[in-house]
């Protein structure tokens, strides 16, 4: 992403084609009750004009996938990262036992675009915050979907996500992560909705405030720093975490991104070393934010 494009996105907004995301329709009289027992947010509050963010967690409270949910007539519509289409679809299907609920994969039937900055005029519009700022999802049947124009490339959309400090699958939201570690407590969780898979563990984290890791935003200390996802984070010679996502800031030229560190191992403005082992730590980064606060 170059500086001009980034400044235009901040000033005027943009559009991203996210049609490749997995999509499902959940119907049946028990659809709300069933899905409320599967995700971290309160499905009873889902609306047709606003997408609710939620996580699907396992029995240990760790993330199996994150979804956006909205109502559509007598059904609930969900979308999730493309790579989770089969895995998450099977996971959701597996828990439909005695429920009057039918899960249908509609991935190939719909185009899905996300706008931010300027409200779109066509299609089924659903408010959402996929890049941490107000935006709208536009759903269009594939048969009515025009050729995309003025869309961000996949690479630029990924860079913008990282610059906006939005955690995503697979770097941050994966089977190693509790929702609270990734800063999703306020946007994708309800503590008053009742039971769901993994709820006991996540409620304990809420009560104690203790969790293994916390997500940070960071910036490199020099433009020429060589850092890659998966690189270790060190406080002195002590290993405290891992880089998960990064991009080069279009205005400063500095590498910037996100990573997990052990809870309480470092504070905002701390300076950390980066490397693939204690004997190979060269680049230096500075923590700019703890993203779970």
Interval 120-131: pLDDT, tens: 887 899 999 999
Strands 110-116 and 52-57, how do they pair? unpaired
The DSSP annotation for 203-233 comes to: HHHHHH---SEEEEEEEESSTT----TT-EE
Q: Write the pLDDT tens digit of every residue in 112-167.
A: 999 999 888 878 999 999 999 999 999 999 999 887 778 999 999 999 999 999 99
Specify whether the CB–CB gap between 138 and 154 falls below 8 A. Answer: no
d(CA 186, CA 168): 16
d(CA 40, CA 255): 33
Structure tokens at 40: 């971290």
Domain ranges of the chain: 3-163, 212-293
CATH classification number, 3-163, choose in 3.40.50.300, 3.60.21.10, 3.50.50.60, 3.30.1360.120:
3.30.1360.120
CATH classification number, 212-293, choose in 3.40.109.10, 3.10.450.50, 3.20.20.60, 2.40.30.110:
2.40.30.110
Q: Write the pLDDT tens digit of every residue in 29-40.
A: 999 999 999 999
Closest CA to 76 of 109, 104, 113, 110: 104
- pTM beyond 0.85, yes or no: yes
d(CA 38, CA 218): 33
Structure tokens at 223: 């433009």
Average pLDDT over residues 1-18: 94
């Amino acid at each position: 992403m170059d500086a001009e494009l980034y400044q235009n996105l901040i000033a005027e907004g943009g559009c991203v084609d996210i049609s490749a995301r997995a999509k499902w329709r959940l119907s049946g009289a028990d659809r709300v009750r069933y899905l409320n027992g599967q995700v971290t947010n309160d499905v009873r509050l889902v609306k047709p004009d606003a997408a609710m963010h939620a996580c699907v967690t396992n029995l240990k409270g760790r993330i199996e996938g994150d979804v956006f949910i909205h109502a559509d007539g007598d059904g609930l519509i969900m979308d999730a990262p493309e790579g989770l289409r089969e895995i998450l679809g099977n996971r959701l299907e597996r828990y439909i036992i005695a429920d009057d609920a039918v899960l249908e994969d509609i991935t190939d039937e719909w185009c899905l675009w996300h706008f931010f900055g300027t409200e779109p005029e066509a299609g089924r519009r659903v408010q959402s915050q996929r890049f941490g700022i107000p935006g709208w999802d536009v759903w269009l049947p594939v048969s009515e979907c025009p050729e995309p124009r003025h869309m961000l490339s996949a690479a630029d959309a990924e860079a913008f996500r990282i610059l906006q400090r939005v955690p995503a699958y697979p770097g941050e939201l994966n089977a190693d992560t509790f929702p609270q570690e990734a800063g999703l407590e306020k946007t994708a969780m309800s503590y008053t909705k009742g039971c769901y898979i993994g709820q006991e563990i996540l409620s304990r984290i809420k009560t104690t405030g203790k969790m293994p890791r916390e997500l940070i935003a960071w910036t490199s200390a020099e433009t020429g720093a060589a850092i890659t996802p998966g690189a270790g984070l060190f406080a002195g010679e002590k290993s405290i975490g891992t880089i998960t996502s990064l991009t080069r800031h279009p205005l400063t030229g500095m590498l910037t991104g996100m990573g997990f560190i052990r809870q309480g191992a470092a504070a905002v403005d701390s300076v950390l070393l980066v490397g693939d082992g204690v004997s190979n730590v060269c680049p230096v980064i500075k923590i700019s934010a703890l993203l779970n606060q």
